[in-house]
Structure 1
Amino acid sequence: MHLHSERTEGPASAGSSAVRAPLSPRRWWLRVVTLAVLSALLIAAVVRAFVVDVYWVGSNSMEPTLQGGDRVLVSKLADTDELQRGELVVFDGRGSLDPLHSTDPWYTQAVNGVGRWLGLNGSSTAYVKRVMAVPGDSIECCDAQGKITVNGQPLEEEYLYAGDRPSDIPFAVHVPADRVWLMGDHRSESVDSRSLLGAPGGGLIRTERIIGTAEWVLWPLDRARDL
C-alpha cells in the first residue's frame, strides 16, 4: 500500500524574504532631500567648528576698521602661538571681560545659541580686537610723543579712530608665554586689555581663548574687503 501525503501550502515562513513595494516617487524624493539637508548641516557644523565661521561685530570699538553690525569671516586655522602684531582676532571673553559662566537660564542660552548659529544675533561674549603685543614683548603707554611703544619702538597707528589718542590709560606690561595684549582701534570706546589692569592676569588674554583671526568683511556688501 502506498501512502500519499498531501502538502498543504501555508504562509511564508519568517525566514523567507518578503517582497517590498517600491517607494513612491514622492517618498523617495523626501528621503533624498532629508539626507541632503542633514549632510549639509553636518558639513556646515564641522566647517564652522574647525575651519571658518562668521562673527557679528557687536560694537563700535574697532572703528574705523570695523563698524558695529559688520559680519566678518574668521579663520580658525591660525596657530595662536604664531600670532603677529597688528592682526585682528576674535576671542572668547569669558573669564576675562565677562564672567566665566553665564547666569542666564539654560533655555535662554539655548535660544541665543541657535540664533547665533543661524546668524540672527551676535555673541555677547565674543570680541574682535587688534593684537598689540605677543609673548616676549614689552608694551608701554606712552612715550614723550604720546605714542605706544613695543620693545622701545613707537607704533605708527594709522588705523586709530580720528581724534583718539593711542591711550588715555597709562600702562607698562611684559607679555609672558601664552598671552597677548589686545586693544580696539576706537580707543576711547574700547573695552580691552587696558580695562583689566589690576585684575588677575593684568589685562593679558590667554591665547587659548582666541577663536581665530578676522580675514574678511562679508557684510554689508559695500564694505566687503579683506582685512
Structure 2
Amino acid sequence: MVGEPQPGRSPALNTAEEPDGSEEPTPSSHKSARKRHPAVSFLIELVIIVGLAVVISFVVKTFFLRAFYIPSESMEPTLEVDDRIVVNLLAPDVMDIDRGDVVVFEDTRNWWGSGETPETTAFQDAMMFIGLMPDTSSHYVVKRVVGMEGDTVECCTEEGEILVNGEPVQEPYVHPGNAPSEPEFEVTVPEDHIWLLGDHRSASADSRAHVDEPDQGAVPVDDVIGRTLVTVWPLERISGGGSNNEPFEDVPEPQ
C-alpha cells in the first residue's frame, strides 16, 4: 500500500529520511549552539560583579562607613597630612559620641572649609560619590570633642591643663611641644552642640577661634557625619581612629 513502510524497515527510520539527505538536529547539537563564547560569559560575570560592588559600596557609604582624606596638620600627631580614614556613620544617630572622640563634621558655616580642595577628575568624583575613594572635599572637618552640651570648658589651670566642668584634663594626644591652649577662654556648650579642638593646638583653627560668636564656637550635633573608626592609609599608619575617652573619665556631668 502506498505510504506503508517497506518490510524490514522501521517507521521511524522511514520518516526521518528526507529527499535531500538532511537530518534533524540532535539535542546535543542544540546545546552546543546555545553555548556562550567564554569571552561573553566573562564579560557578563564581570559586569555583574562590578555592579554589585558599586551597589554595596554605595549602601555602605550611605548608611555605615565613609572614607575621608586628611588635608591639614591640625590633628597631628593623631592624624597626619594625606592620611585616609574611615568614619563610622552610625554615630551620633545610632551610637553616642562623647568627650575624647575624634569626629568628622560638615563645615556648614565655612569656618574651616575655605581652604583649597585638591583637584579631582570626573572619575574620582564618581568614585568618591559611591564610596570607593576618600572624600577630599574641604567642606568636612575632623576635630576632637572636648565638651558636650552643658559642659563648661575653660583654659587653663596653673599647670596649663584645660578644665571641663572644673576637672583638669591631661591630654596625651596633644602635639609634642604644644600647650593645651595659648588663648584663655571659658565657654558653656549650648544644647545639641559639641565643642572641638585639634590635637595640634598651635596649627588648629578650632572652636577657640569662634568663642565670641553666639554659639561660643560650638558645632551643632546635626552637622556631625560620624566618628573616626580607623586609619587605613598609608599602610604603615594603619591604626584606630584616634578617639581617646580615658582623659575625660573623671569629668563630672554638668550642673
Q: Secondary structure at the match of 2:201?
A: coil
Matched, 1:154 2:161: no
1:114 equivalent in structure 2 = 126
2:202 equivalent in structure 1 = 188
List runs of 5+ in structure 1 lacking aligned partners: 1-20
2:102 equivalent in structure 1 = 88
2:82 equivalent in structure 1 = 69
The equivalent position to 1:170 in structure 2, one of 184, 194, 201, is 184
- Could you tell me the percent identity over the aligned residues? 37
Q: Secondary structure at the match of 2:56?
A: helix
Instruction: Calculate the TM-score normalised by the size of structure 2.
Output: 0.70
Query: In the alignment, is the contact (CA less than 8 A) between 2:67 and 2:134 conserved in 1?
Result: no
Query: In the alignment, is the contact (CA less than 8 A) between 1:142 and 1:148 conserved in 2?
Result: yes
Matched, 1:211 2:225: yes
Query: In the alignment, is the contact (CA less than 8 A) between 1:96 and 1:196 conserved in 2?
Result: no
Q: Secondary structure at the match of 1:31?
A: helix
List runs of 5+ in structure 2 lacking aligned partners: 1-32, 243-255
Give 2:77's aligned amino acid: P
Q: 1:62, 1:203 → 2: CA distance?
A: 18
Query: In the alignment, is the contact (CA less than 8 A) between 1:130 and 1:185 conserved in 2?
Result: yes
Shift of 1:43: 0.9
Shift of 1:143: 2.4
Give 1:210's aligned amino acid: V
Q: 1:156, 1:122 → 2: CA distance?
A: 32
Q: Secondary structure at the match of 1:149?
A: strand
Query: In the alignment, is the contact (CA less than 8 A) between 1:179 and 1:205 conserved in 2?
Result: yes
Q: 1:110, 1:202 → 2: CA distance?
A: 39
Shift of 1:111: 7.2
Offset from partner CA, 1:38-74 (integer Å, 9 cap, x none): 1210110110111011111111111111111111121
Number of residue-to-residue matches in the alignment: 201
Matched, 1:123 2:137: yes
Give 2:52's aligned amino acid: S
Q: Secondary structure at the match of 1:48?
A: helix
Shift of 1:142: 1.6
Q: 1:29, 1:115 → 2: CA distance?
A: 24
- Change in 2 beyond 3 A, CA 1:31/1:85: same
Q: 2:121, 2:219 → 1: CA distance?
A: 24
Q: Secondary structure at the match of 2:142?
A: strand
Give 1:165's aligned amino acid: A
Q: 2:53, 2:140 → 1: CA distance?
A: 26
Query: In the alignment, is the contact (CA less than 8 A) between 1:115 and 1:121 conserved in 2?
Result: no
Q: Which has the larger displacement, 181-190 or 115-124?
A: 115-124
Q: 1:216, 1:120 → 2: CA distance?
A: 13
1:47 equivalent in structure 2 = 60
- Change in 2 beyond 3 A, CA 1:98/1:187: closer
Shift of 1:98: 5.0
Query: In the alignment, is the contact (CA less than 8 A) between 2:175 and 2:199 conserved in 1?
Result: yes
Q: 2:72, 2:84 → 1: CA distance?
A: 12
When Rg is computed on C-alpha atoms for both structures, the one with the higher figure is 2
Shift of 1:157: 0.9
